[in-house]
Each structure stands twice: as structure tokens, then as C-alpha cells.
Amino acid sequence: MKEPDLKDVIAGHFSRNRELCNLIESKGADLAAKRPIDLHFWADGELAAHRLANALRERGWLHVELDRTEDGGVWNVEVHIEASVAEIVDPGQTEELARLAKDNQSEFDGWGTSI
């Protein structure tokens, strides 16, 4: 199976980000307010997970968790940060997260927050 092109991955995030922002605003939440946000990644193995975790920590994000999936091949990497939704959905930020993941044999799977 062909690996998706980085531009296609980023375009998919842009689309999902618009939908999530609309949903969040429909619930009366402020997109500019700081809140706990989780960033989700999938890494192609333990070495890639640790490299990605280190790259995320170099950005100043210290709350990074790694967890091996049951089959042990793919690793889940999560980062817990305090930021606004507006910051996270910024196109430059989205591109940077997708590129950072790809550079570390990983995939940026998106973000989540509680309302």
C-alpha cells in the first residue's frame, strides 16, 4: 500500500480541523482560550517513537507518553499541552506537526480536547 503524500495528509488535517472548530464553537467554547489539548501520533516502531518523543520534547513539550500497541509494531505517542485550539489548527502548526512526524517515521493522527 502506498504511503500517503505529505500534502494529502496535511489537507486531511485542515478539513478535520475546520469540522472540529465548527463543533467546538457550536458548543459555545472560545477557540482562543487556552485549554488542555492532546496531540496524537503513531510511530513505526520503538526507535521511531523515541526519536519522535525527543523531537517533541525539544519543542518544549515535556508531557510525552509512549505506549506500544498489542502487536508491538506500531507505537502510540501522545503529547499533553496547554494551548488554544486556534494555535493548534493554525496551518503552519499543522504542517509542522505532520512534517515532524514524517521526519521521524511517524504519522500525526490529530488532536483532541474536552469541552
Cα 40–chain centre separation? 4
Cα 79–chain centre separation? 8
pLDDT higher than threshold 70 for residue 2: no
pLDDT at residue 37, as a whole number: 97
Cα 9–chain centre separation? 12
Interval 23-38 mean pLDDT: 96
- Quote the number of domains for the chain: 1
Cβ-in-10-Å burial (0-12, 13-18, 19+) of 29 comes to: middle
Write the pLDDT tens digit of every residue in 57-109.
999 999 999 999 888 789 999 999 999 999 999 999 999 999 999 999 999 99
| 3-state SS, residue 104 | coil
Interval 22-39 mean pLDDT: 97
Q: Is residue 107 part of a domain?
A: yes
Q: Which domain holds residue 66?
A: 6-112
Give the CATH number of the domain where residue 90 resides: 3.30.70.970
Q: Is residue 1 part of a domain?
A: no
pLDDT higher than threshold 90 for residue 48: yes
